[in-house]
């Protein structure tokens, strides 16, 4: 059975079919339904299913753009996966099971959700009332925490507005209006009033869904549920570098070339992406190269590197390379 990133073809095909069927049942709107048919239709899924080797499977996944398609619908799939209650006696909700299966093979590549402007209103109409309903049902302690997250979100928005020469009017409207909308939801039967509030400020109201998502704290929900993506960021701690910009650039370029040499087979199998970036710890001056890879690929790199490889929590992956092998010794600057 062909596999991709350690996941059998059958499981990949099943996950895509199940996701497409689930999205269609949500009936998000005519534009979204047409996009599902076009991007996740039977012809594309069958192309993946016909693959007979690992190489053919990789090519089919890329040629059908199925990952890009999944990214278009990630916002909706993620929301339902993290908020839908499980059916009695059935364990996890259907959405969460599908979401896990998609993550196992890396259906959602790191990056922004490529939602088309034509689908966005349908997403908003679907997600907003459901978000409000969840927030309206919170107990006092959870509601206070949600409002604290709203204040942090608004503070960041206010800072961005001021940086762009604005007066922070959207931020003020959000901090006043979002709690009011939630309270109206608690009362029930106030849809017209909520619509009037949103329509009264067309400049600020598009930020309400983002504010509600922050209040729901979906990142914490995802972490609590233990949903793990196949491709995750890892950091290679390369230590302090020369202060001269040209010398620093030379060291980093050499490092990236060594990474590519050591990890070429993993790059070819999509177990590591070509994207790489650098980060500098301002307090210590230490530099990190950030890579995106599967855990098995990151462990392989750790075994062939004299540099510490750190996971998302800052824990060092175990390595077994002899001195001077793989990526080579740390620079002695």
Q: Is the pLDDT confidence value at 332 over 50?
A: no
Q: What is the pTM of this model?
A: 0.85
Report the interhelical angle of 120-136 vs 66-83 (nearest 10°): 20
Instruction: Identify the burial level of 212 via C-beta atoms within 10 angstroms of its C-beta, where 0-12 means exposed, 13-18 middle and 19 or more buried.
Output: buried
H helices of the chain, where?
9-26, 30-39, 42-49, 54-63, 66-83, 94-104, 120-136, 140-163, 169-187, 191-199, 208-216, 218-225, 245-262, 264-268, 295-303
DSSP track, 282-318: TTT--EEEEEEE-HHHHHHHHHT-SS-EE-TTSPBPP
CA terminus-to-terminus distance, the chain:
49
Neighbour count for residue 157 (Cβ, 10 Å): 19
Q: What is the pLDDT of residue 116?
A: 64
Question: Length of the chain in residues, anyone?
Answer: 333
For Cα atoms 40, 44, 50, give the angle at the middle one, nearest 5 degrees: 140
Neighbouring residues of 298: CB distance < 8 A, sequence distance ≥ 6: 232, 234, 291, 309, 311, 317
Mean pLDDT calculated for residue range 257-264: 91
How far apart CA 146 and CA 214 sit, in angstroms, is 8
Which pLDDT band holds residue 29 (cuts at 50, 70, 90)? very high
Neighbouring residues of 230: CB distance < 8 A, sequence distance ≥ 6: 5, 6, 7, 103, 104, 105, 106, 294
φ, ψ for residue 107, nearest 5 deg: -65, -25
Which helix H or strand E contains 277, and what residues bound it?
strand 272-280
Sign of CA dihedral 316, 320, 322, 326: negative
Tell which phi-psi region holds residue 285, choosing left (phi > 0), alpha (psi between -120 and 50) or beta: left
Task: Give the C-alpha distances (Å, rounded to integers) separating 163 from 146, 176, 206, 251, 299.
Answer: 26, 22, 20, 35, 42
Q: In whole angstroms, what separates CA 310 from the centre of its chain?
A: 19
Q: Is the pLDDT confidence value at 162 over 50?
A: yes
Which helix H or strand E contains 273, and what residues bound it?
strand 272-280
Instruction: Identify the burial level of 59 via C-beta atoms within 10 angstroms of its C-beta, where 0-12 means exposed, 13-18 middle and 19 or more buried.
Output: middle
Whose structure tokens read 């990236």? 256
* Range from 4-18, 76-90, 116-130 that averages highest in pLDDT: 4-18
What tens digit of pLDDT does each residue of 111-148 get? Answer: 655 556 789 999 999 999 999 999 999 999 999 999 99
Which helix H or strand E contains 4, and what residues bound it?
strand 3-4
What tens digit of pLDDT does each residue of 170-204 get? Answer: 888 999 999 999 999 999 999 999 999 999 988 88
Which pLDDT band holds residue 333 (cuts at 50, 70, 90)? very low
Query: Taking Cα atoms as reference points, which of 104, 13, 8 lies closest to residue 64?
Result: 13
What tens digit of pLDDT does each residue of 199-255 get? Answer: 998 888 888 999 999 999 999 999 999 998 899 999 999 888 888 888 888 888 888
């Amino acid at each position: 059975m062909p596999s991709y990133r350690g996941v059998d073809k059958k499981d990949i095909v099943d996950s895509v079919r199940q996701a497409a069927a689930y999205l269609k049942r949500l009936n998000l709107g005519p534009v979204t339904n047409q996009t599902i048919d076009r991007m996740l239709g039977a012809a594309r899924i069958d192309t993946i299913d016909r693959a007979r080797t690992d190489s053919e499977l990789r090519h089919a996944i890329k040629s059908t753009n199925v990952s890009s398609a999944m990214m278009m619908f990630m916002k909706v799939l993620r929301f339902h996966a993290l908020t839908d209650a499980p059916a009695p006696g059935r364990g996890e909700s259907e959405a969460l099971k599908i979401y896990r299966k998609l993550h196992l093979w890396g259906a959602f590549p790191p990056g922004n959700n490529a939602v088309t402007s034509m689908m966005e209103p349908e997403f908003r109409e679907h997600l907003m009332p459901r978000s409000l309903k969840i927030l309206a049902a919170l107990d006092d302690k959870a509601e206070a925490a949600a409002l604290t997250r709203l204040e942090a979100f608004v503070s960041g928005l206010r800072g961005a507005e001021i940086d762009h020469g604005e007066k922070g009017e959207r931020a003020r409207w959000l901090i006043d209006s979002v709690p009011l909308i939630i309270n109206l939801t608690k009362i029930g039967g106030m849809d017209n009033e909520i619509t009037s509030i949103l329509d009264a400020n067309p400049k600020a109201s598009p930020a309400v869904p983002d504010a509600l998502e922050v209040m729901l704290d979906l990142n914490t929900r995802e972490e609590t549920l233990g949903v793990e993506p196949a491709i995750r960021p890892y950091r290679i701690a390369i230590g302090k570098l020369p202060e001269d910009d040209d010398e620093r650039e030379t060291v980093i370029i050499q490092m990236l070339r060594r990474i590519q040499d050591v990890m070429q087979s993993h790059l070819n199998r999509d177990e590591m992406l070509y994207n790489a970036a650098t980060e500098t710890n301002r307090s210590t001056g230490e530099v990190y190269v950030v890579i995106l890879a599967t855990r098995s690929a990151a462990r392989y790199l750790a075994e062939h590197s004299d540099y510490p490889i750190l996971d998302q929590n800052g824990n060092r992956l175990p390595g077994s390379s002899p001195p001077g092998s793989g990526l080579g010794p740390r620079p002695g600057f």
